[in-house]
Amino acid sequence: MTTIKTIGAKIGASLFALAFAIGFGVGGWFVGVMPMAKQVHGWWRADELVAVQARVDQLSMHESRGKSRTRRADAEFVYQYNGKTYRSKRINIAGDSSDNIGSYHDEVYATLKQASDSQQTVTLWMDPQEPEFAVYDKSLRLSLFLFLIPFSTLFPAVGLAALWALWAIWFKPDQADAQQTTGFTSASLPVTEMPAMYGAASHAAGRLELPADNSGALGMGLFALFWNLLCFPIAGVVLMQDRHGSRVEWLVLIFPAVGIFILWAAGKIAYTRWRLGNARLGLAQHPYTGISNLAVRVYFDTALGLRMQTASSHYPVQIEVLCVHEDRRGEDTTSKTLWSATLGEMHVMHGAQSMDFNISLPADMPASGTLEHKEVEVIWKVQLKLLDAELNFKLPVRQGVGEQVNAHDLLEQQYPREPVNLYGLPSTPSGSKQQTRNWFWAYGIFFILIAITAFAIFSSAGDSDTGNASRQPKSRPGVSDVASQTESLAQLQARIAAGVDVNTRDEEGRSLLMQAADEASLEKVRYLLEQGAQTDLAVPLDDKGNGGRNALFSAISHDAVEIVQALADAGADLRKPSNKVWTPVHYAAYKGALKSLRYLHQRGLSIDEAFDGGRGSTPLMIAAQYNQLPAIDFLLQAGAERSKKDFQGEDACGYARFFKQPQAASVLGCQ
């Protein structure tokens, strides 16, 4: 009969398991699986997208401060496709969320801020089948992807394990319940029932066959899998962080190294057991305390040495018989050897499929089985070490003829308790007591500590998805009837002939000449210049002073040097800045437009001029900032001064170091 105490314990354990199942299952789904699915789906969809040019219309940095600071770059882009204007607020193809993983949001914000301030276009990646879908960054955020791996794998696994535990609490047979039902402990079970508890198969004339215990390789391998799924991604995320040259973060590699070692150990155990093959222990009769010269035979399903890479004529075998008192209650497993005997080293011939030996068991030892608690047990076992593998066979030893031995009395005799000193420190235990930490619990606690550390570092990352933003285009008053990006030269000529002003602008303020330069269409540019288009007509400045980009800058953006020359021949001012930041030479250095940069130098423009409208940056500094290596090489050959400093005392090497451009620093010859 199930007692009230047992029901209460099961209900308590069930509530605990249910909390784990719900917490880790739901958390793993929403924090790990769904964001990971978005990452994978975005990566899969990226190849279908095409590039379009867009203007940064709005830009902000959203920052939240809780237990840790998280950031998210927010932007709104305006772009045209097939004559229609669209808006998009998407930055990353996998969705935009607030996190503190790396400097991704800061870098995106800085790049978009630079583009917004200089009135330059940026590249969006649009789905031609769904033009309203466009993203700024179609690449996979590797650091975020790594961060999501533990949440998308370990959390659901823990939830499933908790569900299995919930099932086992109510439906899996319990050995203690069986003992209460039958009225027997395993030590007092009838002779015909005890062997079944050890997986033994009974044969005629009382002969038994016992299987070997599990090697533990599977459990160790599963733990190594859990460990590595946690430690490898976290190590990757930590190493990808920007630490300004610090080497402390490399210490995190200790944890993956431990995981590799555990995996190697599990693999080695599994391999040695496979190499040995399945083995069974045969007993001539049921063992009991006090038996002498019990005939034992070990059967090898695979001929001995058959799977060895280097075979030998014979193989040494070490055999030991033990009687152990094991207490698995609590965190520790306390194992105390009550009796042991080592047989002399034996040798088995190559190709043998069995080996024989005899064992004798003392009469003054307890029988096998559990004691007052199901986690307290007396275990008899035969241990074989062969071909670098270890085999353990549990023996179902019953009590022999004579007075029954009390295991507790035997423990007190062999392992006397130390006297308690109430006024001093306890003395170090003496004797041969062997207490072994249960490796599973030890690693489990270590696993929890690592998980807590991961939560502390990344607790607020990656769970505040902004969702899909509205993509309805906003109307603007006074939009001119301008040509689309796909307008042909003949269509443009027809519209001009119909009376359209050659200097008309589109809704973004771009003139027809600037639109033609953006398309890198030399024919359109020449035609518009022939019709009297103004070369320096620029995008109007906004209330923040941004704007001023004209056709010359559009041509430089594509390094269309023929258009640059055509505009210069038509009177375009090659020295006029677009706004408070860029001059044509600076812009060519920024874009790495080598042909345009060389042409401007040939026209006599200074390639080492510090622009007064910004912080006094030279073209060489700008090229170093954006890692434009061919431009750096050309500017140095053209006589640009590497040591020249801006208004804040930084030279080109300082720009390369500050913006983390080691290749640029190498080309510059920085120390």
Nearest to 486 by CA among 519, 512, 509: 519
Nearest to 111 by CA among 39, 61, 176, 185: 61
Contact (Cβ atoms closer than 8 angstroms) between residue 276 and residue 386: yes
Contact (Cβ atoms closer than 8 angstroms) between residue 265 and residue 221: no
Domains in the chain, CATH or no CATH each: 7-146 (no CATH), 485-572 (1.25.40.20), 580-671 (1.25.40.20)
Q: What angle do CA 271, 317, 302 make, to 5 degrees?
A: 50
CA–CA gap between residue 202 and residue 521 (Å, rounded):
92
- Taking CA atoms, 139 is separated from 48, 90, 103, 306, 374, in Å, by 13, 13, 15, 52, 56
Q: Which range, of 33-47, 201-215, 369-383, 429-443, averages the lowest pLDDT?
A: 429-443
CA–CA gap between residue 241 and residue 226 (Å, rounded):
24
415 pLDDT exceeds 80? no
Question: Per-residue pLDDT tens for 39-73?
Answer: 888 888 888 888 889 999 999 988 776 666 788 88
Cα–chain-centroid distance for residue 414?
Answer: 51
Consecutive H or E run containing 390: strand 389-395
Q: 364 vs 481, which has greater pLDDT?
A: 364
The Cα diameter of the chain in Å comes to 123
| Res 198: pLDDT | 55
| Res 471: pLDDT | 33
Contact (Cβ atoms closer than 8 angstroms) between residue 636 and residue 624: no
Burial of 398 (0-12, 13-18, 19+ CB in 10 A): buried
Contact (Cβ atoms closer than 8 angstroms) between residue 71 and residue 106: yes
Q: Which range, of 106-110, 327-331, 552-556, averages the lowest pLDDT?
A: 327-331
CA–CA gap between residue 524 and residue 521 (Å, rounded):
5
Question: Per-residue pLDDT tens for 265-292?
Answer: 999 999 999 999 999 999 989 999 999 9
Residue 534 CB coordination number (10 Å) = 17
Q: State the Cα torsion 521-527-531-533 to the nearest 10°.
A: 20
| Res 419: pLDDT | 56
Amino acid identity of 31? V
For the residues 462-486, what does the mean pLDDT come to? 36
Across all residues in the chain, what is the average pLDDT?
Answer: 81
| Res 251: pLDDT | 81
And the tokens for 560?
Answer: 């269309």
How would residue 442 be classed by pLDDT, with cut points 50, 70 and 90? low
Question: Per-residue pLDDT tens for 636-651?
Answer: 999 999 999 988 889 9
For the residues 336-365, what does the mean pLDDT come to? 92
Q: What angle do CA 622, 624, 625 make, to 5 degrees?
A: 65
296 pLDDT exceeds 90? yes
And the tokens for 65?
Answer: 């401060």
| Res 201: pLDDT | 58
Q: What are phi and psi of 200, to 5 degrees?
A: -80, 150
In the block, tokens 């927010």 appear at 74
And the tokens for 289?
Answer: 């305390």
For the residues 504-526, what does the mean pLDDT come to? 90
205 pLDDT exceeds 60? no
| Res 202: pLDDT | 54
pTM of this structure: 0.55
